[in-house]
A and B are shown apart, each in its own frame.
Chain A
Amino acid sequence: MTDASLPAPGVQNAAPARPRWQVLLVRPETGTLLLLVGAIIVAANLSPFFSDLRFILESSTYYMEFGLVALVLTLVIISGEIDLSPAAMMALSACVFASLFQAGLPIGLAMVAGVATGAALGAFNGFLVVVLQLPSIIATIGTLTLFRGLSQVLAGDRSISGFPAWFMGIDWRTVGIVPYPVIGFTLAALALAVLLGMTVWGRQIYQIGVSEIAARHAGVRVRRIKFGLFVAMGVTSALAGLLTASRLASVRYDMATGGELQMVLMVMLGGTYIFGGRGGVLGTFLAAWLLVIIATGMNVANIVVTSQLVVMGLLLIGSIIATNAIYARTQR
């Protein structure tokens, strides 16, 4: 990492450091923040509901599930890999959980089994990428299809429900006016931001994304870290799957279909570089809220869900183009 604001000792006539406001302005998170503020202003003019914080928080829980996974996906993409299978992992681990519960296992044990399934699925992705050295972008397309298929085998086309009351409706439980999933998402974002920004381990993730070969020569345990990240993806996806199961009070094989788009969209909108090495958790955190505002705004404005697909697709393409342009300008 080169830092333009620190004068290099012993170098004469070094280029003057960029002013702090310029450095801040070219950070992609700044763009996300500006978009977020803009979206809130537009949405508030669309509907009086928007001045109601409680309403926004209530409608955000759906996106918190994807947001939680997107936080970990940010680390994966910074390390130069990608995982397109988390939505399918959500479905499969939730199906395992629900099937075991239906087979008579106590719900606590079934939840543990669901999370363990997620860990195993993530480890399988990690095995494919780290041990067999398949390109993650295409290998996880294979596992996406496989995991979704296995959920279908497990659950068929029925929906599994009948969970005890304490398990259901986590999105309706609040501290003050803040629902549990929002608190979980915020805490996870804080923890990961500290991990990524302030620990050796976090800096090593950036190092791997900038140059894997250099990282290996510098003694970074590249394979171990990448494997760990994929397992973390699996565990987080399983937790998100349980959150979804609690919110919907039922589990189907098609849970979170197409969710990979939303997750990648959050990471890209947050300004993380698709080729790795740059980005951060803060951007993804802001981008998740941006999506909440945009989606809720479209719902309030009576734009049908199917047309929202167009907006999501355009946003994804627009955000990669913009992020790429910003990094191309600052990269020499």
Chain B
Amino acid sequence: MTARSEHPTDSAAPLALRVRDLRKSYAEVLAVDGVSFEVATGEILGLLGPNGAGKTTIINTVLGVLTPGSGSIRIGDVDVSRQRSLALARTNFAAVYASLPGNLTVAQNLRFFGLIYRVRALSSRIEELLGQFGLAALRDTKCGVLSSGELTRVALAKALLNRPRLLLLDEPTASLDPAAARDIRSAIRALVRATDCGVLWTSHNMYEVEEVCDRVLFLSHGRILLAGDPRALPREHGARNLEELFIQLAREPLAHPAERLA
């Protein structure tokens, strides 16, 4: 199997994210090994792979909280390593492992992060997002006492505060029941249609990926193994569905990371 489509389907669309030859190692372990890909505006790109494949390392380098060993990352036309603050002003993220401070209320958290992202007309933006995510009744509730589903909605509201051109979602529906997860997926798809935001989405739920993503990249041992349309890829590779293809790829023998480092 070979990587074929690290580029957006619509090659004329402006790019929300461009990653070139990204490498990162931790001591002797090569976590990301020369990864290149793009996310177009209005596109949802799924980043798939088994645990330890390098997905979170890629997300952390894009977010500027991890310095790449080599390679370049551009958000829109801004280089993250050179103009980090400007690049991140156009970006936002929600991750299951980055919950908002539990000792602030929903509205306080949104105001706090709204100021950090220098959101204009912040009060009306907060009201808009509280309404959009059904959080109006919880506005004065501390985040520490919210359910997983409610926390996810708050995290997404925070992630949309600055109307990002690039949105990174690391397993955004991991702790949600199927109905809540479907609502969140619909909301994000609607957002992408309305704003032309580019989305980088990681998930272990292959049904969700088929439903939401325009394109997927399969990562393993820090490399892109396969890329393409999540609805067409299983047929092309003789799998019944995306989950079966994921399992095949996750078990595919690769050169041992230590050998690749040598």
Is chain B a partner of chain A in the same complex? no
| Chain A residues packing against B (C-beta within 8 Å) | none
